[in-house]
């Protein structure tokens, strides 16, 4: 919901100090499996142009090239590490890779309580969850809270990093797979 993030941020400029919003995504023309991507991007550009100039100066639409995977990964990593808050205000989402990446990097996250995201973040412990992903007022409240309370934001970020390491990295998944295979191996019934 890039448009909702933009609206929520623009409506709270007066409470956000000198914060800037970077709406980051792949260049829609380089993504073949997202037929709506170009339309969504064009709508965001139109919405950005309709904002007052003070909001346009602090909201940045960033399209990352997808043709060089390593360069893209470096850019995403740098953006997430530099961010004070990472947002994944999805209307629908499976497992939110952006969420786990931000958690692993020790960044506080504001995300929607949808799909797999609600399994990744416990509200108020690993990040802040929005019960209604379309509620731009609640989104603004969450961002204002994290930017206004850096101690709380660091607390969430530390908890998020610990959870990402414990639950979402490869070694944890390998151990779960081992346990599953071991359990299956021991449960076979042989008949003759």
> Which pLDDT tens digit goes with each residue over 64-77?
888 888 888 899 88
pTM check: above 0.85 = no
Query: What are the φ/ψ torsions at residue 26 (nearest 5 degrees)?
Result: -70, 150
Q: Give residue 171's pLDDT band: very low, low, confident or very high (50, 70, 90).
A: low
Question: With contact defined as beta carbons under 8 Å apart, do 22 and 60 qualify?
Answer: yes
Checking if the pLDDT of 141 tops 80, the result is yes
**Sign of the four-CA dihedral 55, 92, 155, 162:** negative
Checking if the pLDDT of 81 tops 80, the result is yes
**Of 121, 129, 128, 124, which Cα lies nearest the Cα of 161?**
121
**C-alpha 15: how far from its chain's center?**
22
Residue 78 burial (C-beta neighbours within 10 Å; 0-12, 13-18, 19+):
exposed
* Residue-level pLDDT at 61: 94
Question: With contact defined as beta carbons under 8 Å apart, do 83 and 5 qualify?
Answer: no
């Amino acid at each position: 919901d890039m448009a909702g993030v933009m609206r929520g941020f623009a409506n709270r400029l007066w409470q956000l100090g000198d914060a800037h919003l970077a709406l980051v995504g792949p260049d829609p023309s380089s993504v073949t499996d997202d037929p709506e991507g170009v339309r969504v991007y064009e709508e965001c550009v139109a919405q950005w142009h309709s904002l007052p100039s003070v909001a346009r100066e602090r909201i940045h639409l960033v399209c990352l090239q997808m043709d060089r995977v390593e360069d893209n990964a470096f850019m995403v990593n740098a953006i997430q590490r530099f961010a004070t808050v990472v947002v994944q205000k999805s209307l629908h989402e499976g497992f939110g890779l952006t969420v786990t990446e931000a958690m692993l990097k020790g960044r506080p996250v504001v995300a929607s309580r949808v799909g797999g995201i609600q399994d990744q973040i416990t509200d108020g412990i690993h990040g802040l969850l929005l019960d209604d992903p379309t509620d731009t007022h609640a989104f603004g409240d969450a961002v204002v809270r994290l930017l206004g309370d850096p101690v709380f934001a660091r607390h969430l970020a530390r908890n998020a990093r610990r959870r990402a390491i414990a639950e979402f990295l490869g070694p944890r998944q390998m151990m779960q797979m081992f346990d599953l295979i071991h359990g299956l191996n021991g449960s076979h019934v042989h008949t003759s």
